[in-house]
Chain A
């Protein structure tokens, strides 16, 4: 059982020559691919298993016009299906080619050039010549008929103007195993390994690379030391090992990488419990869930700003925030990026209220020239709690929603509530309780009776159609046809929908005037 667990964790590393339980294949030309997976990252993939019989392999990288550089690791197990060239000096915009060198047990070396591909949108395209020129952006092919995603050059050079950045794909879990004799733990060289889905019993789909772009054979051949590896979906699998004279199976093997897409089944239990410390955190230690869309280079770029879901020891008992971290010790919020807007939707632990607040991050009049680094200053626009309820707006009027009781209501009209709860244009001069219409939720801008949402101004400035000559501060009352009229002598607040914020108007003619509504 102990031996089996060692095999399962894929940790066995041999240090002496192999004892051949199975026949190792002779070296055949491998299928060797490269593709770009990030701005300065290249994946190197060996798809077939004909390396199983060799001693080891290595990869060298040659920049166009330069000399070969041996990549780390430089002595790879024949079972290794792929490696990643990252953190070893790749530069955006430069062109590279790759060479795989296989070394057999007699130290004979044979080299093969990698075929360069791009794999955007999970569609494999061969690049010719087989060099990788590292693009700096990932987006749609702008050429006529181009619909696929691929790495290209900068959006500013005119050749790749439409950018829709994305990560290249999900990360698949990797499994590293070792075929070992169940009784002796001796390596089963070049054993045949079959992987089946435990649930269906059918052969599992395997990949040679972490992003699942190139297939790996199933069954596969272990190397001279019994080691094998592959990528697949998170799941449970049955592994059958055939070492010639020895066969055995490992059933219900869980292959799982927490960084890969996953389905968590909870049934009557919680599918996921996220626990953070009781200590008052000063940074993201109190964040249970963080959601980001990285790598965008278009207007949707989230940059460093992230959405957060948290249960907090500070004011926010529970909150969904954007662009805000919470310092629980000081009860302060901090920007991810101070030039971006921010919001919170939370239950306030102090007031026990549900709240929604924003920091709109207004731009300066001179762009970024005189930008002053700032801290968040959030305005709570909605507060509903056991103490009180209120809502407000920052720059726009405050409105309430009503349902249109007739066709044709538009922004700037004056309406009043009807007994059935809908609103209709005022029908009498100096009608009681008039409201200015902020807007109508229809593409045409004109209401449909019974279905349109009409928003009524209850505070702040709105624009209203006024008939007659108005002076600044004149009270406005309703007309009999759904508009406003100046009424400078009006003192009964029940009839006043607001006060003119500008003078203007013409006798018997409708003019749109700004009004301070009430």
Chain B
């Protein structure tokens, strides 16, 4: 339970406080939980250096001064500070004290340190490394050398032998989130060491179980592991597991894992012995091919969607030729929005959100506004933001322009209107799937006046 403790232990008292807080909140068995967070000290971003000027007899030189310059830019003076957080600057040269000593904080790097007495330069220590490894720094490798190699014991332990722990700590050492732990983990037997990122829980290699969670948050596990018999051809599986937070589990700090995604080699019912992918859920999970995620979707109405230099909005896209690269409106910087009647840009080309049907234009496939009521193959047009590959939204969720004055409610079947080219209407009497654009997710105009969000657009 010391593996979260940094090299310096002078902040160890915080661990006691944290454990006390933890145990007062939940009935936690410390022995089976992730260890407390590391102490947060030292603070600041600077590295500390101290030295002493002595003469050849061993006596301190009390009237010396010290000048510090960056090794890679010796014509400049290095900014020195009296504290690690850059609050109090030190002017140069730095005078030694009565014992010939001097000290300063400085940004990590290599420095030339010159000791002088009066105006006489004595000697310069060249390229003195001043790097506190506990502070942010760059480690340089080469074509032959890894910058950092992290090695763990070959012996199974009651924790996962973490290689890296990522923490977000307050200045007093308080853990504000659970730790992310990267482990090269030993399996129950053989050489099934796997790579796993665990959040908010540790792994007990001896018992092959997870520990209690560290904080009142969900727990996650991303696992990459070899499967099969050691010594023979082995494939790797990939899995993502999830556990709700203790407050969602009635206060239990024991993770209740659900495997949400697995790619593995195994025999599975109705699938057979071949490698397969499995997407699981928590019982109510939908599986969607196409659009449907937070922070995305809804064609053409996303803030900042510019016709050029932007990836497309959500959806499964299919290429259509003969759509002009100049978007509706004019100019490369035009926002791809054209609320209003069809006809923005030019009379031949639709706008995002318009109801269109494919048509042949010479030897290429184009799109034109749907002009018939419940027209077959009607779909929602979207314009890919860049390049020469305009596309239509073929699967998923979209904002579709609605015929003026038409009312649409959630769940309504949405078809082309017919009376206003390029627009949609609700028609729950339509049964031909080829004529159904999709199903309304909202009342018309709820997201954007003149439009309605639909799902399951025609393909």
> B-contacting residues of A (Cβ < 8 Å)?
3, 6, 9-19, 41, 56, 72-73, 75-77, 80, 82-84, 86-88, 121-122, 166-171, 173-174, 176, 180-181, 184-187, 189, 210, 225-227, 256-278, 286, 288-289, 309-311, 313, 315, 317-318, 347-348, 350-355, 358-365, 370-372, 374-375, 377-380, 383-395, 397-398, 400-401, 403, 420-422, 458-461, 472-473, 475, 491, 493, 498-499, 501-503, 514, 516-518
- Closest chain-A Cβ to B227's Cβ sits at a distance in Å of 16
Would B166 and A516 count as touching, CB distance under 8 A?
Answer: no
Lowest 5 A-B CB distances belong to which pairs? A185-B58, A362-B386, A11-B51, A421-B272, A258-B133
Residues of chain A with a CB closer than 8 A to B451's CB: none
Q: Which of A14, A17, A184, A389 contacts B260 (CB 8 A)?
A: A389
The DSSP consensus for interface residues of chain A is loop
Known: A263-B151, A393-B316. A459 touches B141 (CB 8 A): no
Cα–Cα distance between A343 and B111 once the two chains are bound (Å)? 38
Would A266 and B3 count as touching, CB distance under 8 A?
Answer: yes
Would B240 and A384 count as touching, CB distance under 8 A?
Answer: yes
Residue of chain B at shortest CB distance from A458: B289
Would B159 and A278 count as touching, CB distance under 8 A?
Answer: no
Q: Which of A56, A351, A365, A375 contacts B304 (CB 8 A)?
A: A375
Would A72 and B153 count as touching, CB distance under 8 A?
Answer: no
Asked if B80 is at the interface of the complex by the 8 Å CB criterion, the answer is: no
Asked if B117 is at the interface of the complex by the 8 Å CB criterion, the answer is: yes
Would A380 and B296 count as touching, CB distance under 8 A?
Answer: yes
Residue of chain B at shortest CB distance from A268: B157
Asked if B197 is at the interface of the complex by the 8 Å CB criterion, the answer is: yes
Which residues 210-225 of B sit at the A interface, judged by CB distance below 8 A? 218, 220, 222
Cα–Cα distance between A204 and B4 once the two chains are bound (Å)? 33
Would A311 and B167 count as touching, CB distance under 8 A?
Answer: yes
Would A309 and B166 count as touching, CB distance under 8 A?
Answer: yes
Would A9 and B51 count as touching, CB distance under 8 A?
Answer: yes
Residues of chain B with a CB closer than 8 A to A277's CB: 168-171
Asked if B143 is at the interface of the complex by the 8 Å CB criterion, the answer is: yes
Asked if B404 is at the interface of the complex by the 8 Å CB criterion, the answer is: no
Known: A10-B125, A461-B394. A514 touches B365 (CB 8 A): yes
Asked if B351 is at the interface of the complex by the 8 Å CB criterion, the answer is: no
Would B309 and A374 count as touching, CB distance under 8 A?
Answer: yes
Would A473 and B242 count as touching, CB distance under 8 A?
Answer: no
Which residues 265-281 of B sit at the A interface, judged by CB distance below 8 A? 270-277, 279, 281
A-B contact pairs, 28 of them (CB 8 A): A13-B115, A16-B56, A16-B57, A75-B124, A76-B123, A87-B75, A168-B142, A186-B58, A187-B57, A256-B133, A261-B149, A265-B151, A271-B152, A317-B177, A351-B293, A354-B260, A364-B309, A377-B310, A379-B312, A387-B285, A389-B288, A392-B289, A392-B395, A394-B311, A421-B272, A459-B394, A460-B318, A460-B459
Would B199 and A385 count as touching, CB distance under 8 A?
Answer: no
Would A383 and B317 count as touching, CB distance under 8 A?
Answer: no
Residue of chain B at shortest CB distance from A391: B289
With A167-B141, A258-B132, A459-B290 known, 8 other A-B pairs at CB within 8 A are A187-B57, A268-B3, A269-B2, A270-B162, A278-B168, A374-B310, A379-B312, A386-B285
Question: Which of B66-74, B341-349, B439-447 touches A?
Answer: B66-74
Residue of chain A at shortest CB distance from B63: A15
Question: Which of B18-26, B186-194, B356-364, B409-417 touches A?
Answer: B356-364
Residues of chain B with a CB closer than 8 A to A353's CB: 260
Residue of chain A at shortest CB distance from B282: A386
Residues of chain B with a CB closer than 8 A to A460's CB: 316-318, 394-395, 459
Q: Which of A15, A16, A41, A268 contacts B159 (CB 8 A)?
A: A268
Residue of chain A at shortest CB distance from B117: A15
Would A180 and B164 count as touching, CB distance under 8 A?
Answer: no
Residues of chain A with a CB closer than 8 A to B132's CB: 258
Known: A318-B197, A389-B285. A272 touches B71 (CB 8 A): no
Would A174 and B127 count as touching, CB distance under 8 A?
Answer: yes
Q: Which of A186, A260, A421 contacts B274 (CB 8 A)?
A: A421
Cα–Cα distance between A56 and B170 once the two chains are bound (Å)? 50
Asked if B337 is at the interface of the complex by the 8 Å CB criterion, the answer is: no
Asked if B33 is at the interface of the complex by the 8 Å CB criterion, the answer is: no
- Closest chain-A Cβ to B150's Cβ sits at a distance in Å of 4
Would B162 and A377 count as touching, CB distance under 8 A?
Answer: no
Residue of chain A at shortest CB distance from B7: A273
Would B317 and A174 count as touching, CB distance under 8 A?
Answer: no
Q: Which of A170, A275, A355 contacts B169 (CB 8 A)?
A: A275
Residues of chain A with a CB closer than 8 A to B377's CB: 473, 499
Q: Which of B3, B285, B434 contacts A269 (CB 8 A)?
A: B3
Q: Which of A265, A309, A501, A514 is the most central at the interface, judged by chain B CB atoms within 10 Å of its CB? A: A501
Would A270 and B139 count as touching, CB distance under 8 A?
Answer: no
Known: A318-B180, A514-B365. A186 touches B309 (CB 8 A): no
Q: Which of B53, B142, B220 contacts A169 (CB 8 A)?
A: B142
Residues of chain A with a CB closer than 8 A to B179's CB: 311
Would A278 and B316 count as touching, CB distance under 8 A?
Answer: no
Residue of chain A at shortest CB distance from B294: A351
Would B288 and A390 count as touching, CB distance under 8 A?
Answer: yes
Would B52 and A12 count as touching, CB distance under 8 A?
Answer: yes
- Closest chain-B Cβ to A394's Cβ sits at a distance in Å of 6
- Closest chain-A Cβ to B187's Cβ sits at a distance in Å of 17
Residue of chain A at shortest CB distance from B164: A272
Residues of chain B with a CB closer than 8 A to A391's CB: 289
Would B285 and A267 count as touching, CB distance under 8 A?
Answer: no
Cα–Cα distance between A354 and B199 once the two chains are bound (Å)? 12
Cα–Cα distance between A286 and B114 once the two chains are bound (Å)? 36
Q: Which of B125, B163, B459 contacts A270 (CB 8 A)?
A: B163
Asked if B31 is at the interface of the complex by the 8 Å CB criterion, the answer is: no
Would B153 and A267 count as touching, CB distance under 8 A?
Answer: yes
Cα–Cα distance between A84 and B169 once the two chains are bound (Å)? 39
Would A395 and B391 count as touching, CB distance under 8 A?
Answer: yes
Residues of chain B with a CB closer than 8 A to A265's CB: 151-152
Cα–Cα distance between A88 and B360 once the two chains are bound (Å)? 67
Residue of chain B at shortest CB distance from A474: B377
Residues of chain B with a CB closer than 8 A to A171's CB: 140
Q: Which of B151, B167, B295 contacts A276 (CB 8 A)?
A: B167
- Closest chain-A Cβ to B2's Cβ sits at a distance in Å of 6
Would B159 and A392 count as touching, CB distance under 8 A?
Answer: no
- Closest chain-A Cβ to B57's Cβ sits at a distance in Å of 5
Residue of chain A at shortest CB distance from B292: A390
Residue of chain B at shortest CB distance from A188: B56
- Closest chain-A Cβ to B257's Cβ sits at a distance in Å of 12
Q: Which of A170, A310, A422 is the most central at the interface, judged by chain B CB atoms within 10 Å of its CB? A: A170
Cα–Cα distance between A270 and B202 once the two chains are bound (Å)? 12
Would A170 and B72 count as touching, CB distance under 8 A?
Answer: no
Asked if B208 is at the interface of the complex by the 8 Å CB criterion, the answer is: no
Cα–Cα distance between A297 and B110 once the two chains are bound (Å)? 27
Residues of chain B with a CB closer than 8 A to A88's CB: 74-75
Residues of chain B with a CB closer than 8 A to A166's CB: 142-143
Which residues 42-66 of B sit at the A interface, judged by CB distance below 8 A? 50-59, 61, 64
Q: Which of A310, A372, A422, A503 contacts B309 (CB 8 A)?
A: A372
Would B141 and A170 count as touching, CB distance under 8 A?
Answer: yes
Known: A270-B165, A384-B240, A501-B358. A86 touches B222 (CB 8 A): no
- Closest chain-A Cβ to B120's Cβ sits at a distance in Å of 9
Asked if B354 is at the interface of the complex by the 8 Å CB criterion, the answer is: no
Residues of chain A with a CB closer than 8 A to B128's CB: 10, 174, 176
Residues of chain A with a CB closer than 8 A to B61's CB: 13, 15
